[in-house]
Structure 1
Amino acid sequence: MAVLISILSLQAFADEPQAGKELEIKLTGNQSYLHVIHKGQSVRVQRVQDPEYVLKGYYAKTARKCPPFCLQPMQVDPRVATVGEVELFDFMQTTLRDDRGFLIDARTPEWFERGTIPGSINIPFTVLSKVGTPENDDALKLFGGKSRGEVGAFSRKLEKMGIINSEGKTDKWDFSNAKELVLWCNGPECGQSPRAIKGLLSVGYPANKIFYYRGGMQLWQLWGLTTVVPEG
């Protein structure tokens, strides 16, 4: 599906200095922008160049009823690393670019259609947290998991004893070649990606291959970063 650059990123492009001049508001101290493939198209991720830019609309709200909009812990699980924007930039330019991982928008499709972080695919938390469903199985296979079928009791016992390699393997799944995942949702008050992460952990997905972008769409837009929306 074709995508349109959001108003936010159009403003960034409009404010961009002429060719040959560096952007004044960069991603990091030594990087002005990056490119990421989103639905087959190259999208440039940069920040709005207007120093007077302020966040408006839904993501500018900081007071919502809790529950359900309660601040989430910095870590979903002690085994899962939490990342910020700079780490996400690096992931986009390495792991995501090399097809070794996925950037997952864990929100419901209605939210995804309003706009998403470039390079993201939409796999809702409702899918990832419902273990054993066909949709959940399909997602795990997409991530590189392989169904083991029937595993002999003796073979499984040897695996658990460490006599034969058991890394990344459960009774049902082989995650030996599973890809790295960065999951995010609407921001620090959103519990959707944490629920998705807990669902992945519950089926034995390797915790060292799961990352949590806690800032989500709220902090992404706070920093004036590029978003994309489906055409129409």
Structure 2
Amino acid sequence: MSKRIVWALALGMAWAGCAQAADEPPLRITRDSTEFVVHTPGGPLVIKRSKTACGAGKGFVQALVPQAGVTPVTEIEVLHALNDPATMVIDMRDEDEPLKTTIPNSYHIPYNELEDRLDVLGCQRLSGKSWACRRAVNIVAFCHGPMCLQSPAGIASIVRLGYPVGKIAYYRGGMTDWEALGLTTVTGHRPLNSRPVP
């Protein structure tokens, strides 16, 4: 069999693997809806979401800006942030599932632990859940990908506690887009004791 035929078969199988899975329950597009109506010249068209082999079924599409004032970033900005000594790129995925790979040079602080670990981000605990964040570091938050609500939830929790929103960037693409683009991944995260000093 020629290389060209093998390549065509492999490509066809890859596309077939991303095809819609049959008999799946309706998946959410937003928090409250499983469909969206687009008014086309040919009449209304209902857009629905189905689980595919290439896309997670959990969650729903996250806003590009999860909190007013947060800066959305692409892979290019994440790459530059990885070399910025004043910025922490933070993998906010929790550990319900083992984290097999991550973005190189990133730190790991699960989204549901952030409220108690703001000291790692340059804040000072005053009392109870009260923090002073005048010396907060710049962060880039990410999680599983565009459907994942973990990093948006983590961002919301630290903003609520007074973390300066202007020091937060959000990489909505997360691991889904990073890996889909074929960018290098690693096992393990950068140790928190190597974090930037504010």
TM-score bracket, shorter-length normalisation? 0.5 to 0.7
Tell me if the contact between 1:144 and 1:179 (Cα under 8 Å) persists in the aligned partners.
yes
| 2:138 maps to 1:180 | yes
| 2:100 maps to 1:114 | yes
Tell me if the contact between 2:56 and 2:147 (Cα under 8 Å) persists in the aligned partners.
no
Q: Which has the higher contact order (CA 8 A, sep 6+)?
A: 1
Change (3 A) 1:112 1:214: farther
Q: Separation in 1 of the partners of 2:169 and 2:162?
A: 15
Change (3 A) 1:87 1:195: same
Identity of aligned residues (%): 34
Structure 2 counterpart of 1:190? 148
State the TM-score, normalizing by the size of structure 2. 0.64
Structure 2 counterpart of 1:87? 77
Equivalent residue pairs, number: 143
State the TM-score, normalizing by the size of structure 1. 0.55
Structure 1: gaps of 5 or more residues: 1-51, 129-135, 151-170
Q: Separation in 1 of the partners of 2:98 and 2:133?
A: 27
Q: Secondary structure at the match of 1:182?
A: strand
| 2:126 maps to 1:148 | yes
Structure 2 counterpart of 1:104? 90
Structure 2 counterpart of 1:73? 63
Letter in 2 for 1:125: Y
Tell me if the contact between 2:132 and 2:162 (Cα under 8 Å) persists in the aligned partners.
no
1:122 Cα deviation after fit: 1.4
Tell me if the contact between 1:112 and 1:122 (Cα under 8 Å) persists in the aligned partners.
no
Structure 2: gaps of 5 or more residues: 1-10, 19-51, 189-198
Q: Separation in 2 of the partners of 1:177 and 1:199?
A: 18
Letter in 1 for 2:133: F
Structure 2 counterpart of 1:125? 111
Q: Separation in 2 of the partners of 1:60 and 1:212?
A: 25
Q: Secondary structure at the match of 1:188?
A: coil
Q: Separation in 2 of the partners of 1:180 and 1:63?
A: 29
